[in-house]
Structure 1
Amino acid sequence: MGHCDLTVLQPPFDADPLTCTRALAANDPLRAAEFAASFGTVEAILEDLGPRSSLDVPHPDRRADLDVVQAGAWGHVLGICDPALADNGNDTPLLYEAQALRERFPDARVVGRVHFHAGADHTEDIVWLPDGAMFHASGWPGDEPFVIGGDPDAVISSLGLTTEVLENAGLYLDEDEPNETEWSALATLALGPADPWNRPDVQTQAFRVGHTGSAVRAMEHLYFI
């Protein structure tokens, strides 16, 4: 399992995310627990497992590993890494949870990235901005089906991203087919330096949780079919 995270970036937004190097606030474990407990796939927090690096991406090898999530509350940034967000094309769990967070935090950027490998890669990425601009990409990179929802160009325009910035991130939207585009790179640009999942200096809090029944059934089928 690669990326499996969903992040809420609340104002203020950096005027120039490419040059700003503002550090994230230290993680608040109590707020992190509150955010994890309120997440749509989580029914209850069972145990606080302590701090973990945000780079410590879980790789579920046992059934018990599916019960572990990582969450953080870094000032104006909230985030969660949850194996229940992964999918193999039968559903769009990231989109569902992003919609719920969009309703809770209408003034925030809601950004998610999921990369699941089960013989082949399946990805789901989303950016939802306060002005309503959004894109959602889900499918099998380099293969079909691969579905794009929303308007990536509207997201790019709203974020003020230039062609040079996009190309430096490996995005060539006018040249590449949708299933050849690294959509997670656009999600990363939307978070800018507030991205908590790509920084060695950022700590999360790990929790053992009880997932909802639907999330448990989906994960057990997905990871241990």
Structure 2
Amino acid sequence: MTTGSGTRYELTVLQPPFTVHAAGLPPNDPARAAAFARSLDAVDEVIEDLGPRKQSATHTVTTRADLDVVRAGAWGNLMSVSDPAFADDGNDMPLLAEATRLRRRFPDARIVGRVEVHCGAEHTEDLVWLPDGTMFHACGWPGDEPFVVAGDPRAVMAALGVTAEVLDDLEVYFDLDDEPNQNDWGALATACLGDADPWGRPDLDASTLRVRRSEHATRHMESLYFITG
């Protein structure tokens, strides 16, 4: 069983046009979804397709076997994956590492990542990366230290039209003049994805895949999730 737990570990690649609405996306392409999952650094191979699941279904880790399950979708110009290997305690930042690889593969894409894990305390890692290279990456312990923000979140918000009024309408408290650990960076990342956000939607299916992990990913996850048996 695990004593660490994750509530989200998502990485999304949105290719032009950026005006797509998740409600209008085509059905998931299982072959493309599996290929996307297979391309991740923490995945050596996809060994079994466990079938479709609604994007509204929670993806959680409760046993060792759950660490080898990812959920991936490829809906036209939007691809996204939920993978517990993205979770971290601030030492490795696997979400940023994978986003950097995806940035090289998809230079014209908007890349959005959101990770939240509880391992004694809440740890988050969130990022938004735009095609012109503008980005922010926020990583740390909300309400505590260390919490580090890199890049230019103000420029990202300006480029995407995410104003204080937009965040107020979404009931998101966010003020760049506050200490970084007081802001909800995951909510900002969600706002930057906008109507294209595929997560939490009951009208979208994704592929649930059992994978074989890389040795490094296995060690990292077993350490993070405190496997006890």
Query: Paired residue for 2:50?
Result: 49
The change in CA–CA distance for 1:207 and 1:150 in structure 2 (over 3 A counts) is same
Residue 2 of structure 1 aligns to a residue whose secondary structure is: strand
Determine whether 1:211 maps to 2:216: no
Query: Paired residue for 1:84?
Result: 85
Alignment partners' CA distance in 1, 2:45 and 2:22: 36
Alignment partners' CA distance in 2, 1:87 and 1:162: 30
Residue 26 of structure 2 aligns to a residue whose secondary structure is: coil
Alignment partners' CA distance in 2, 1:26 and 1:136: 31
Residue 7 of structure 2 aligns to a residue whose secondary structure is: coil
Counting matched residue pairs gives 221
Determine whether 1:150 maps to 2:151: yes
Equivalent positions of 1:143-182 (< 5 A) are 143-169=144-170, 170-182=172-184
Amino acid at match of 1:187: A
Q: Deviations over 1:75-108 (max 9, x none)?
A: 1100110000001122200000000001100000
Alignment partners' CA distance in 1, 2:174 and 2:40: 34
Amino acid at match of 1:166: L
How far did 1:172 drift?
A: 2.7
Give the conservation status (yes or no) of the 8 Å contact 2:88–2:94.
Answer: yes
Query: Paired residue for 2:14?
Result: 9
Compute the RMSD of aligned alpha carbons: 1.4
Q: Deviations over 1:186-214 (max 9, x none)?
A: 11112111111121211110110011111
Equivalent positions of 1:34-113 (< 5 A) are 34-113=35-114
Structure 1 runs of 4+ aligned residues shifted over 4 Å read none
Amino acid at match of 1:5: E
How far did 1:126 drift?
A: 0.4
Alignment partners' CA distance in 2, 1:203 and 1:53: 5
Instruction: Mark the runs of 5 or more structure 2 residues left unpaired by the alignment.
Output: 1-5
Alignment partners' CA distance in 1, 2:49 and 2:176: 46
TM-score (norm 2): 0.92
Give the conservation status (yes or no) of the 8 Å contact 2:47–2:209.
Answer: yes
Query: Paired residue for 2:3?
Result: none
Residue 149 of structure 1 aligns to a residue whose secondary structure is: strand
Q: Deviations over 1:32-83 (max 9, x none)?
A: 0111111111100111100011222222221111000000001110011000
Instruction: Mark the runs of 5 or more structure 1 residues left unpaired by the alignment.
Output: none
Alignment partners' CA distance in 2, 1:96 and 1:218: 14
Residue 126 of structure 2 aligns to a residue whose secondary structure is: strand
Alignment partners' CA distance in 1, 2:157 and 2:173: 11
- Deviating more after overlay: 207-216 vs 50-59: 50-59
Query: Paired residue for 2:24?
Result: 23
Alignment partners' CA distance in 1, 2:36 and 2:81: 8
Q: Deviations over 1:5-32 (max 9, x none)?
A: 1000000011xx8xx6752221111110
